Amino acid sequence: MTIKGKAYIAGIYEHPTRHAPDKSTAQLHAEVAKGAIEDAGLTKDDIDGYFCAGDAPGGLWPMVDYLGLNTKKLRHIDSTETGGCSYLIHLGHAAEAIAAGKCSVALVTLAGKPRTGPMPPRASGAEADFESAYGATTHNAYGMCAMRHMHDYGTTSEQLAWIKVAASHHAQYNPHAMLKEVVTVEDVLNSPMISDPLHRMDCCVVTDGGGAMIVTTPEIAKSLKKPLVRLIGHGEAAKGPRGGKDLDLTYSAGVWSGPRAFEEAGVTPKDIKYASIYDSFTITVLMQLEDLGFCKKGEGGKFVADGNLISGVGKLPFNTDGGGLCSNHPVNRGGMTKILEAVRQLRGEAHPKVQVKNCDLAIAHGTGGLLGVRHAASTCILERA
Amino acid sequence: MSEAKKYNAPVTNPETAPFWEAAKAGKFMIKRCTTCGEAHYFPRAICPFCFSDKTVWEESSGEATVYTYSLMRKSPTGPYAIAYVTLKEGPSLQTNIVDCDLETVKIGQKVKVVWKPTDGAPLPFFTPA
């Protein structure tokens, strides 16, 4: 069995806020849910599947109650929690549920306020006593990946900087982007070193906000007014140090999730017209592009340089909303916004300055957790139907 | 600086208690599987490679090589160098490189285990050999 073509994304909504001290987290979930339902042209009572992750206050059942979902109708629930890529996995799981007849209109929500105040600490696993004292953070965990990638493959800070430069070229056209200023390679290299070799401009923004989507059957999607976008391939995977054997921080679980998604979709990286790639840090993008097969392992530095990721300039337009590096990184989780911009591109609703011509095939990919420690990855291949 | 830094005592559990008991005697222990022969860290009762339950404690030399690192320039307790080091016996593990000029840490550098006190068992760190 395959989920290829079995589920369509019929509604999307990205909250325009980047700082919401005047709102509750549950309220933001409700606002993005309302936005996605209205974008689809449906009503709340049409929802019979609900997906959320660890950012939902109290978890899934308090959110079902708070949102007032129709519990006589709601027949599929899933609170898969894999950090930033949770929502990419939710999309895959929603497609599985729809293909199996377990639900027909699934709502997925993400929202939170890390810019207003600190997020609760990540739950630790069996490794806690053996690692918690060493102060692994997002910055230094990704820094360790970048350091080893540079050592093994000669990747440079200048090459990493090109990823931020490309994101900034796109963000200038997004009225909601937190950082709209176009930056240069020199700007990135001159920004303060945070955790070697990552500079401040190698890091994504911290924003309040959220996003939501409606995943539905082909029949329902075709009865609605929005351009048709369907999921044709999905992959998920996880990776960690696994007892410390053959440690290699230069690749991610994307080496497994990517091929699974491409195989199901029956397409290859060279067919992709637009790529949404999780950009918690510049190194995250570079490693994912290699892992997904857009270039060979170790050649990511050359691939991203000289504007190759800039829409209308390079070969692989990426994160045309400005991505997490410049626009939005709600709840420190990038998976949802990756899907939303891919859907905009496939609908032809991206900003005209960054809209990819004849964009009929896109990828949305992300990781969750810490790339340098333990993480999950998920890849979705989306097609304009 | 690192000398002044306070670390929380390990919580410990029945599976890992022998590691922390040995740590109090200055011994750095790893686990080895007698079925597949592979060593691993952090210690598990069941081998993460072949899933055999025939795992035994083994004292590590505490000698290692820096696999990668990142120097965190600012934190509430000052700069620190997080790293993965690869033990002579094979397994790699997460740690901090301490008691040295952090600017001199580099990939491939030889390091050795050093213990830092807590209110319970001490914690293993690594310092240039």
What are φ and ψ of residue B49, in 5° steps? -95, -55
Q: How confident is the model at residue B92 (pLDDT cuts 50, 70, 90)?
A: very high
Q: How confident is the model at residue A123 (pLDDT cuts 50, 70, 90)?
A: confident
Indicate the Cα dihedral angle A316, A322, A326, A327, nearest 10°.
-150
Q: Least CB-CB distance to B70: which of A143, A151, A245? A: A143
**How many CA atoms are closer than 13 Å to the CA of B31, on its beta-carbon side?**
26
Provide the residue ranges of all domains of chain B, joining segments of one domain with +. Answer: 17-128
- Predicted confidence at residue B65, as pLDDT, reads 98
Residues in chain A: 385
> How distant is the Cα of A371 from the closest Cα of chain B, in angstroms?
13
Is the CB of A245 less than 8 angstroms away from the CB of B40?
A: yes
Interface confidence, given as ipTM, is 0.96
* Tens-place pLDDT, residues A324-367: 999 999 999 999 999 999 999 999 999 999 999 999 999 999 99
* Tens-place pLDDT, residues A9-60: 999 999 999 999 999 999 999 999 999 999 999 999 999 999 999 999 999 9
Query: Model pTM greater than 0.95?
Result: yes
- Predicted confidence at residue B4, as pLDDT, reads 64
Is the CB of B72 less than 8 angstroms away from the CB of A139?
A: yes
Q: How far is CA A380 from CA A21, A222, A361, B60, in A?
A: 33, 21, 11, 44
Give the mean pLDDT of chain B: 96
Q: How far apart are the first and last CA of chain A?
A: 20
pLDDT at A310 over 50: yes
Give percent above pLDDT 70 in chain A: 100
**Mean pLDDT, residues A311-326 taken together:** 98
Is the CB of B93 less than 8 angstroms away from the CB of A244?
A: yes
Interface test with A, best of B82, B85, B113, B123 (most A CBs within 10 A): B82
Is the CB of A245 less than 8 angstroms away from the CB of B49?
A: yes
Residue A19 in 3-state DSSP? Answer: coil
Residue A99: count other Cβ atoms within 10 Å of its Cβ: 16
- Secondary structure of A248-276 as H, E, C letters: CCCCCCHHHHHHHHHHHHCCCHHHCCEEE
- Predicted confidence at residue B2, as pLDDT, reads 45
CB pairs under 8 A between A and B: 113
pLDDT at B41 over 90: yes
Give the mean pLDDT of chain A: 97
What tokens does B3 get?
Answer: 């000398």
* Tens-place pLDDT, residues A55-112: 999 999 999 999 999 999 999 999 999 999 999 999 999 999 999 999 999 999 999 9
User: Which DSSP symbol is given to A381?
Assistant: E
**Mean pLDDT, residues A201-214 taken together:** 98
Reference A332, options A205, A213, A238, A195; nearest CA is: A205
Third-level CATH fold of B17-128: OB fold (Dihydrolipoamide Acetyltransferase, E2P) (2.40.50)
Residue B92: count other Cβ atoms within 10 Å of its Cβ: 23
